[in-house]
């Protein structure tokens, strides 16, 4: 069974409390920027004295609203995000002074055009690959342009020193997140994947970065103690690495289910894991160039080619002592669905580990089918 | 000791009893709307045949979609593991097992007697028994008649992507007066294409074995063999591969 700490707060509770926190911030005159993706340079938002809040849709409830104008056969994350905005059921979208997005996948960038009709949306032009001759240069230009946009929209200004301070703060948060993720390297793991996934997403609803860092550091220290006291030397359940699309919207259906079926999720090679946190922003360079370099290096499947993802996967398979890989592909996510072929080949042929790919959406209609596939996969491992 | 394997699929519930290595009983019941009720009927039928699942000399493993409804089972396992075990018992060597179930089609690679990897259809029921059932209903025939008709027809292309689309296609083909045999042939071809595609994605190595209800229909086996361009092996106990695997694992693990 899944083990959770006694004071565990689930995602929807954290989200609810986030509403109140945000309302207080707004009443104090704080500006809020709604964001969607790990490519967003949140340091710039902090430097501008505003707070970033994630608007990624993780529920199937608003999808029918989105399907009034978006195609049915589209990624549930995109439909959910747009559905929340268009049905005016997301307080965070409501409180946002502006939206900051990027041209990541085709579905998202076209959705942002419609989103822009509801609220001011600035879309950064992310290069489709990092190896092109102008990739870094154009992305650096987007960073400079973003500064102007933020200052104009939020009626503020910030210095290079403000930005450097924000970079240093975010780097500390990254290190705290990494230390938390890397608890999964311990065998047996003292923390469930469900908790890792929930804590990281719930932290998105805390708007004071120092407070986030403190929460992560405390929990990491507690779990290290837990490992020393109760886990070390004990047998381990099969150790699963999750890869592919973001898993916030399938947390109950897949993440919880895997652990209820007697395996441990030890790591996430997706944007809910260390992917976007591993590389820090260089604190000694021109801050705009440093940000451009850091964010262009994220190994999302929207990048072509994307060899860094396979390298990151290889490192995690070893460091986290993984027994099997489960890839989660959200319905109609073309980039991850196609890249799954390379991931499968790498995991099975080069690493000789079992691999399972689950294609799903946010609905509960395939719960039985998902359960059978996960159970059968775990029966191979035991 | 007797070892009972119960495989409650979405359409049929298969039960097989082993007495040592000998198959002491094997029977199929239709799965009713309630798996729990089906499980109770199996229990009664077993008792009629002299096997009391509550006694200490009978060990039971349940598999298939209704596995959790078998409250008297000593253990539950997925149909993947059980089909793998059953198939590799019928053909004892490394092999690939294709099972077209009522709602799921599976391709399972068995190495050294155990499941090494598997692939299943996506959410849609195209390429499963459910697809054939829906289409047969449209043509107002049963499954045996559908295959009989198909043998004398020339296949009309029918989408193998989506059951709902395919059904509308069949309706419009009926509308323009296409013959039943041609439609039946098209329907079978659609399932064969989809199943073959899944098998090819899985990279078949070794003997290819067809299990499940469709393994008893020679025409389906022939079409699949031709599509995959390789020999397809079947066995008289093919329908019971899952139940047999469950019983075999019961013999190994439930003592």
Top pLDDT among A70 and B173 is at: A70
**Single pTM value for the model:** 0.94
Q: Give just the sign of the alpha carbon dihedral A295, A299, A305, A307.
A: positive
Same domain, B102 and B15: no
- Partners of A348 on chain B (C-beta within 8 Å) are 117
Distance CA A110, CA A69 (A): 12
3-state secondary structure of B75: strand
Tens place of pLDDT per residue across chain B (255 aa): 999 999 999 889 999 999 988 999 999 999 988 999 999 999 999 999 999 999 999 999 999 999 999 999 999 999 999 999 999 899 988 999 999 988 889 999 999 888 999 999 876 667 788 889 888 998 999 999 999 999 999 999 887 667 777 788 888 888 888 999 999 999 999 999 999 999 998 878 889 999 998 999 999 999 999 999 999 999 999 999 999 999 999 999 887
Q: Which residue shows structure tokens 């989103």? A: A115
pLDDT at B131: 87
Shared domain for B163 and B73, answered yes or no, is no
* Confidence check: pLDDT of A3 > 90: no
* Nearest residue in A to B63, CA atom: A372
* ipTM for the predicted complex: 0.90
A69-88 burial: b if 16+ Cβ within 10 Å, else e? ebeeebbbbbbbbbbbbbbe
Q: Are residues B213 and B161 in the same domain?
A: yes
| B72 lies in the same domain as B178 | no
CATH number at residue B7: 3.30.420.40
- Is residue A334 within 8 Å of residue A345, measured between CB atoms? no
Which range among A164-168, A200-204, A324-328 shows the weakest confidence by mean pLDDT? A200-204
A199 vs A3, residue with greater confidence = A199
CB contact under 8 A, A365 and B115: no
Quote the pLDDT of residue B171: 85
Residues 307-366 of A with CB under 8 A from B: 348, 354-355, 359-360, 365-366
- Nearest by CB to A368, which of B65, B77, B116? B65
CA distance B111 to chain A (A): 11
- Three-state DSSP string of A29-65: CCCEEEECCCCCCHHHHHHCCCEEEECCCCCCCCHHH
Interface residues of B toward A, Cβ cutoff 8 Å, are 65, 77-81, 103-104, 114-118, 120, 122-123
Calpha distance B153→B150 (Å, rounded): 5
Residues B249 and B209 in one domain: no
Where do the domains of chain A lie, and which CATH numbers do they carry?
11-160 (3.40.50.11890)
Least trusted range by pLDDT, from A39-53, A97-111, A167-181, B115-129: B115-129
- Cα A332 to Cα A74, A272, B147: the distances in Å are 5, 19, 34
- Residue carrying the six token digits 């409180």: A95
pLDDT at residue B160, as a whole number: 66
Q: Are residues B67 and B104 in the same domain?
A: no
Same domain, B159 and B99: yes
Same domain as B115, residue B213: yes
pLDDT score, position A370: 94
Paired with A35 in beta bridges are A54, A100
The parent domain of residue B153 ranges over 93-234
Q: What would the mean pLDDT of A31-57 be, rounded to a whole number?
A: 97
Q: Are residues B190 and B64 in the same domain?
A: no
Write the CA distances from B189 to B103, B230, B252, integer angstroms. 18, 17, 40
Percent of chain A clearing pLDDT 90 (strictly above): 93
Asked if the structure places residue B148 within a domain, the reply is: yes
CA distances from B77 to A238, A293, A380, B64, B250 (A): 17, 49, 11, 8, 10
Mean pLDDT in chain A?
96
Would you say residue B88 lies in a domain? no
Task: Based on the fold, state whether residues B69 and B157 are members of the same structural domain.
Answer: no
Q: What is the pLDDT of residues A215-255, one digit of tens each?
A: 999 999 999 999 999 999 999 999 999 999 999 999 999 99
- CA B70 to chain A, closest CA, distance in angstroms equals 16
- Counting the structural domains of chain B, the total is 2
> Nearest CB to A375: which of B78, B116, B123?
B78
Is pLDDT at A11 greater than 70 in this prediction? Answer: yes
At A216, which helix (H) or strand (E)? helix A209-226
Q: Are A205 and A53 in contact (CB under 8 A)?
A: yes
Average pLDDT over residues A296-301: 96
* Domain membership flag for residue B170: yes
Question: B81 to chain A: nearest residue by CA?
Answer: A376
Count the neighbouring beta carbons within 10 Å of the beta carbon of residue A341: 11
């Amino acid at each position: 069974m899944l083990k959770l700490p006694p004071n565990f707060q689930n995602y929807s509770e954290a989200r609810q409390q986030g509403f109140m926190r945000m309302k207080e911030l707004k009443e104090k005159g704080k500006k809020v920027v709604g964001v969607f993706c790990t490519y967003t340079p949140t340091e710039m938002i902090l430097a501008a004295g505003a707070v970033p809040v994630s608007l990624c849709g993780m529920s199937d409830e608003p999808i029918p609203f989105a399907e009034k104008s978006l195609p049915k056969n589209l990624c549930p994350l995109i439909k959910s995000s747009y559905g929340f905005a268009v049905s005016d059921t997301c307080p965070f979208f409501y409180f946002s002074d502006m939206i900051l997005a990027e041209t990541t996948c085709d579905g998202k960038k076209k959705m942002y055009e419609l989103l822009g009709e509801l609220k001011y949306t600035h879309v950064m032009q992310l290069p489709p690959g990092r190896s092109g001759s102008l990739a870094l240069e154009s992305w650096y230009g987007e960073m400079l342009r973003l500064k102007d946009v933020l200052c104009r929209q939020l009626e503020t200004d910030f210095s290079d020193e403000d930005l450097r301070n924000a970079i240093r703060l975010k780097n500390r948060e990254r290190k705290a997140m990494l230390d938390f993720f890397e608890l999964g390297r311990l065998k047996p793991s003292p923390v469930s994947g469900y908790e890792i996934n929930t804590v990281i997403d719930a932290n998105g609803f805390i708007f004071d970065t120092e407070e986030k860092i403190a929460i992560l550091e405390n929990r990491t220290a507690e779990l290290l103690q837990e490992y020393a006291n109760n886990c070390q030397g004990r047998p381990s359940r099969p150790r699963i690495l999750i890869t592919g699309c973001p898993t916030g919207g399938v947390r109950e259906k897949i993440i919880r289910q895997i652990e209820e079926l007697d395996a441990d999720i030890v790591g996430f090679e997706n944007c809910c894991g260390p992917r976007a946190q591993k590389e820090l922003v260089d604190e000694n360079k021109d801050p705009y160039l440093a940000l451009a370099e850091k964010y262009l290096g994220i190994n999302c499947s929207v990048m072509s080619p994307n060899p860094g993802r396979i390298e990151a996967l290889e490192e995690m398979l070893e460091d986290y002592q993984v027994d099997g890989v489960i890839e989660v592909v959200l319905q109609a996510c073309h980039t991850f669905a196609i890249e799954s072929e390379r991931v499968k080949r790498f995991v099975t042929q080069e690493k000789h580990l079992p691999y399972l790919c689950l294609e799903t959406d946010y609905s509960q209609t395939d719960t039985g089918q998902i359960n059978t596939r996960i159970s059968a996969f775990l029966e191979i491992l035991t | 000791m007797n070892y009972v394997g119960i495989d409650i699929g979405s359409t049929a519930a298969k039960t097989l009893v082993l007495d040592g290595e000998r198959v002491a009983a094997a029977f199929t019941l239709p799965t009713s709307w309630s798996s729990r009720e089906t499980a109770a009927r199996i229990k009664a039928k077993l008792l009629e045949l002299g096997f009391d699942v509550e006694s200490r000399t009978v060990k039971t493993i349940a598999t298939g979609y209704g596995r959790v409804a078998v409250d008297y089972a000593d253990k539950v396992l997925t149909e993947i593991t059980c089909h793998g075990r059953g198939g590799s018992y019928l053909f004892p060597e490394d092999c690939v097992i294709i099972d077209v179930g009522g709602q799921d089609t599976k391709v399972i690679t068995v190495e050294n007697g155990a499941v090494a990897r598997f692939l299943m259809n996506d959410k849609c029921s195209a390429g499963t028994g459910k697809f054939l059932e829906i289409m047969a209903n449209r043509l107002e025939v049963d499954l045996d008649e559908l295959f009989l008709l198909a043998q004398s027809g020339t296949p009309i292309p029918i989408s193998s992507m989506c059951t709902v689309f395919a059904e509308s296609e069949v309706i419009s083909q009926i509308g323009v007066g296409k013959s039943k045999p041609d439609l039946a042939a098209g329907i079978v071809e659609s399932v064969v294409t989809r199943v073959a595609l899944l098998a090819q994605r899985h990279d078949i190595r070794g003997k290819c074995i067809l299990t499940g209800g469709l393994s008893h229909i020679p025409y389906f086996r022939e079409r699949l063999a031709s599509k995959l361009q390789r020999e397809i092996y079947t066995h008289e106990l093919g329908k019971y591969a899952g139940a047999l695997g469950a019983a075999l694992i019961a013999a190994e693990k439930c003592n």
